[in-house]
């Protein structure tokens, strides 16, 4: 508190500028002294103010203000003897001499004396002037002195006030210090009393605890004895432990070895059983597909569009059997034709419902079977819708790839799969790669020069896809390339076959098994007859090419059905390219698209007749395209083996993907 009070005092002092005032006061006192001295000297110099020429003295001490000579007659002042003046020597100042020194010039004549008088008069004027200046100065100094005295008085008053404040603060401080001292003593005393009482309580507690400890010690002694005995026995056991441990480890090792050998033989059994089960599952799946037919024919009737509903020709000539989903009726001129197929999808069937019927074929591709799904039908019957669909409701192509991804993911990590995608187009019997940079280039199907007799398409792009996003990118690229290669995409797509070729290669590290299956998804060109479309020129050539390839497809299937020794795969690019997916134990699905309109009835009848012809063919059942890495493949036909993949290195490491060619 004392410290704070002192600080507060210092702050007040500095705030009021006490130090500065004190210094200023000192300065003013000194200045006052100096002015006083100056005044005194000025007063004494009045003795000098005598007018010699006039013989008068203006000093305040001369009672008569008269001088008889060159000096004042004031008491103590003697009049000196006048000096001899030599003309031309001495300055005007030298003429004004002091008493005791050589005197000024003494005029000899009246003229001289007049001159001297004039000079003296002038000098007197100057001196008078100086005197008035000095008086003025004196007056100013007096005023200043008065002012400084006033300031000094003020400052002194302030100092007295400060001193009073300081004393007050000091006395307050002392009082507070006194209070604090008393408070401190009181608190110490209280603490002391409390500590004493607590100490007392602790002592009492301690005494109780000591008694309790003593009692406990007495009861613990027998327990301690028991523990000592135990400790000794444990010590002995610990000494024996290393040898016991060694023995136990040896025994455990033997047991583990026995168990391992048992487990390994069990796992071998299990592996064999697993392989057997796998084969059985595939056999059953294949059998199921076979029972359904290696060539299956579905029919899908597209709905009547909004535009068609508005037109006069919107009556539908097709009807369905509500109890039998395999039958379709077409009424014409009072007659009703019945078409029996593997499945008939009415106009209201969704993309998902269609795919449900197709997905077993798609998954058999994972097991190493080659599968081919065609969309057949006249232009505008809904082939592209079924195969590609629309972005919001995709068709078989995208759903198949998504299903393949889901299936292979489910089989991981036992199975490692690689899925590659190629997109080709056959237009006017020319094969074009839709995934290459320059899709205009014509591709060829050739015999492999390595002498293996396999076919391949040199330069065909195969893109490995790892996610549904990759699929979308591949489709976009294919569509873009297809669009850039022609002037009118809609017309072009009706007159060309579009093929999406998916190869699924799998390897099972546990069983050492490899599989390779190929899924061909084909959007065929429009199947309308030339006569009706009235085509000519380039259109005629296009229609001829389409008819040629579609009838070649029919011929190939007929030859396979009749088990002919010669199957004309080479009659068209389409059948040549797809021969591995049409022969042997491959599975084929023909989705015949039909328009519901009466105007398209004859084309619909043609398509359905073609479908029934295809349906009656049964492909040759032979060994699966499923190989064990330790066994070689077993081609089913008696002729050359062909492959359609350009990735020779990959295929040469595996015998999968080969198909027999009866030619």
Ligand X SMILES: Nc1ncnc2c1ncn2[C@@H]1O[C@H](COP(=O)(O)OP(=O)(O)OP(=O)(O)O)[C@@H](O)[C@H]1O
Question: Which residues are documented as binding site for ATP?
Answer: 377-384
Segment 9 to 48, residues that bind ligand X, using CB under 6 A: none
- Beta strand segments in 226-356, E: 295-301, 318-320, 327-332, 335-340, 343-345
| DSSP assignments along 340-391, one per residue | E-SEEE-TT--HHHHHHHHHHHHHHTTTT--EEEEEE-STTSSHHHHHTEET
d(CA 125, CA 454): 148
Cβ neighbours for 155, distance < 8 A, ≥ 6 positions apart: 21, 22, 24, 25
Buried b (16+ CB within 10 A) or exposed e, 323-342: eebeebebeeeeeeeebebb
d(CA 28, CA 148): 6
Q: What mask, x for binding ligand X by CB under 6 A, covers residues 609 to 648?
A: ----------------------------------------
d(CA 494, CA 384): 9
Nearer to ligand X, 282 or 343 (CB): 343
Nearer to ligand X, 289 or 522 (CB): 522
CB 296, CB 326: distance < 8 Å: no
Cis-peptide into 413, omega within 30 deg:
yes
Q: How far is the CB of 273 from ligand X (least distance, A)?
A: 46
Place of tokens 């074929």: 361
Q: How far is the CB of 654 from ligand X (least distance, A)?
A: 36
Nearer to ligand X, 385 or 576 (CB): 385
Among 103, 104, 368, 377, binds ligand X (CB under 6 A): 377
Kindly indicate which of the ranges 167-175, 274-282, 378-386, 631-639 contains the residues binding ligand X, using the contact rule CB under 6 A: 378-386
Kindly indicate which of the ranges 95-103, 120-128, 209-217, 383-391 contains the residues binding ligand X, using the contact rule CB under 6 A: 383-391
Residues annotated in a binding site? 377-384
d(CA 596, CA 458): 42
Q: Centre a 10 Å sphere on the Cβ of residue 75 and count the other Cβ atoms it contains.
A: 8
Nearer to ligand X, 494 or 588 (CB): 494
Q: How far is the CB of 395 from ligand X (least distance, A)?
A: 9
d(CA 190, CA 177): 20
Cβ neighbours for 595, distance < 8 A, ≥ 6 positions apart: 301, 302, 377, 378, 380, 381, 382, 603, 604
Is 290 exposed, middle or buried, given 0-12, 13-18 or 19+ CB atoms closer than 10 A?
Answer: middle
CB 527, CB 606: distance < 8 Å: yes
Nearer to ligand X, 70 or 345 (CB): 345
384 near ligand X, judged by CB under 6 A:
yes
394 near ligand X, judged by CB under 6 A:
no
d(CA 404, CA 503): 11
104 near ligand X, judged by CB under 6 A:
no
Q: How far is the CB of 349 from ligand X (least distance, A)?
A: 7
d(CA 221, CA 98): 130
d(CA 561, CA 604): 24
Kindly indicate which of the ranges 85-93, 115-123, 285-293, 373-381 contains the residues binding ligand X, using the contact rule CB under 6 A: 373-381
662 near ligand X, judged by CB under 6 A:
no
380 near ligand X, judged by CB under 6 A:
yes
Q: How far is the CB of 539 from ligand X (least distance, A)?
A: 14
Kindly indicate which of the ranges 88-96, 164-172, 382-390, 628-636 contains the residues binding ligand X, using the contact rule CB under 6 A: 382-390
d(CA 532, CA 242): 100
Q: How far is the CB of 489 from ligand X (least distance, A)?
A: 9
Q: What mask, x for binding ligand X by CB under 6 A, covers residues 284 to 323?
A: ------------------xx-x------------------
CB 375, CB 524: distance < 8 Å: yes
Q: Centre a 10 Å sphere on the Cβ of residue 171 and count the other Cβ atoms it contains.
A: 10
Q: How far is the CB of 600 from ligand X (least distance, A)?
A: 11
Nearer to ligand X, 120 or 535 (CB): 535
Q: How far is the CB of 301 from ligand X (least distance, A)?
A: 8
Nearer to ligand X, 420 or 604 (CB): 604
- Beta strand segments in 524-586, E: none
Q: How far is the CB of 377 from ligand X (least distance, A)?
A: 6
Among 343, 383, 518, 624, binds ligand X (CB under 6 A): 383
Among 71, 73, 493, 508, binds ligand X (CB under 6 A): 493
Kindly indicate which of the ranges 227-235, 307-315, 318-326, 374-382 contains the residues binding ligand X, using the contact rule CB under 6 A: 374-382
Nearer to ligand X, 393 or 441 (CB): 393
Strand 641-642 relative to strand 50-51: parallel, antiparallel, unpaired?
unpaired
Nearer to ligand X, 546 or 552 (CB): 546
Total residues in contact with ligand X, by rule CB under 6 A: 15
Nearer to ligand X, 294 or 494 (CB): 494
Q: What mask, x for binding ligand X by CB under 6 A, covers residues 581 to 600?
A: ------------x-------
Position with the least CB separation from ligand X: 382
Q: CA nearest 550: which of 581, 580, 522?
A: 522
Among 448, 481, 494, 643, binds ligand X (CB under 6 A): 494
Kindly indicate which of the ranges 324-332, 379-387, 543-551, 606-614 contains the residues binding ligand X, using the contact rule CB under 6 A: 379-387
Nearer to ligand X, 457 or 597 (CB): 597
Measured at the CA of 299, the angle between CA 497 and CA 370, to 5 degrees, comes to 55
d(CA 418, CA 15): 92
Segment 512 to 531, residues that bind ligand X, using CB under 6 A: 526
Nearer to ligand X, 493 or 575 (CB): 493
Q: How far is the CB of 587 from ligand X (least distance, A)?
A: 23
- Alpha carbon 334 to chain centroid, angstroms: 71
In the complex, the residues that contact ligand X under the rule CB under 6 A are 302-303, 305, 377, 379-385, 493-494, 526, 593
């Amino acid at each position: 508190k004392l410290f704070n009070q002192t600080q507060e005092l210092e702050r007040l002092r500095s705030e009021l500028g006490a130090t500065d005032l004190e210094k200023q006061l000192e300065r003013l006192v000194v200045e006052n002294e100096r002015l006083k001295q100056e005044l005194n000297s000025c007063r004494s110099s009045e003795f000098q103010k005598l007018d010699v020429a006039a013989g008068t003295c203006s000093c305040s001490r001369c009672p008569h203000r008269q001088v008889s000579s060159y000096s004042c007659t004031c008491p103590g002042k003697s009049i000196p003897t006048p000096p001899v003046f030599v003309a031309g020597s001495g300055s005007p100042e030298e003429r004004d001499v002091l008493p005791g020194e050589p005197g000024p010039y003494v005029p000899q004549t009246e003229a001289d004396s007049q001159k001297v008088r004039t000079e003296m008069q002038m000098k007197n004027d100057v001196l008078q002037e100086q005197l008035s200046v000095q008086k003025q100065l004196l007056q100013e100094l007096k005023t200043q002195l008065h002012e400084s005295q006033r300031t000094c008085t003020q400052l002194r008053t302030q100092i007295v006030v400060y001193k009073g404040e300081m004393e007050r603060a000091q006395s307050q401080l002392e009082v507070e210090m006194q209070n604090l001292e008393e408070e401190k003593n009181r608190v110490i005393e209280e603490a002391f009393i409390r500590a004493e009482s607590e100490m007392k309580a602790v002592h009492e507690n301690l005494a109780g605890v000591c008694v309790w400890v003593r009692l406990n010690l007495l009861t613990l002694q027998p327990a301690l004895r028991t523990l000592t005995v135990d400790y000794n026995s444990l010590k002995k056991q610990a000494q024996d432990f290393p040898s016991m441990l060694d023995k136990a480890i040896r025994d455990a090792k033997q047991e583990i070895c026995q168990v391992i050998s048992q487990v390994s033989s069990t796992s071998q059994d299990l592996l064999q059983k697993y392989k057997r089960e796998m084969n059985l599952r595939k056999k059953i799946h294949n059998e199921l597909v076979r029972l359904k037919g290696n060539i299956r024919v579905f029919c899908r009737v597209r709905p009547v569009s909004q535009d068609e509903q508005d037109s006069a020709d919107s009556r539908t000539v097709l009807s369905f059997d509500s109890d039998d989903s395999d039958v379709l009726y077409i009424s014409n001129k009072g007659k009703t034709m019945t078409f029996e197929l593997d499945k008939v999808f009415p106009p209201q069937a969704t993309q998902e419902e269609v795919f449900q019927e197709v997905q077993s074929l798609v998954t058999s591709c994972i097991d190493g079977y080659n599968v081919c799904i065609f969309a057949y039908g006249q232009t505008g019957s809904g082939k592209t819708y079924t195969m590609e669909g629309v972005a919001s409701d995709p068709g078989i192509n995208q759903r198949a790839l998504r299903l393949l991804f889901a299936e292979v993911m489910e089989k991981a990590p036992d199975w490692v799969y690689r899925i590659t995608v190629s997109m080709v187009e056959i237009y006017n019997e020319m094969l074009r790669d839709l995934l290459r940079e320059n899709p205009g280039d014509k591709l060829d199907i050739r015999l492999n020069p390595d002498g293996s007799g396999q076919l391949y398409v040199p330069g065909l792009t195969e893109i490995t896809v790892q996610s549904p996003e990759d699929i979308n990118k591949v489709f976009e690229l294919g569509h873009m390339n297809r669009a850039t290669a022609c002037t009118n995409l809609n017309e072009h797509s009706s007159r060309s076959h579009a093929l999406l070729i998916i190869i699924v290669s799998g390897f099972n590290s546990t069983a050492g098994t490899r599989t390779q299956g190929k899924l061909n998804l084909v959007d065929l060109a429009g199947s309308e007859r030339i006569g009706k479309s009235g085509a000519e020129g380039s259109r005629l050539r296009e229609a001829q090419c389409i008819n040629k390839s579609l009838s070649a497809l029919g011929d190939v299937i007929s030859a396979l059905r009749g088990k002919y020794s010669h199957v004309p795969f080479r009659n068209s690019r389409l059948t040549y390219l797809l021969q591995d997916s049409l022969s042997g134990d491959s599975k084929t699905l023909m989705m015949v698209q039909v328009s519901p309109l009466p105007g398209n009835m004859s084309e619909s009848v043609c398509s359905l007749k073609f479908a029934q012809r295809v349906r009656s063919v049964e492909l040759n059942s032979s060994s699966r395209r499923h190989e064990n890495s330790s066994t070689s493949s077993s081609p089913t036909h008696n002729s050359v083996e062909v492959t359609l993949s350009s990735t020779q290195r990959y295929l040469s490491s595996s015998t999968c993907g080969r198909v027999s060619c009866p030619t």
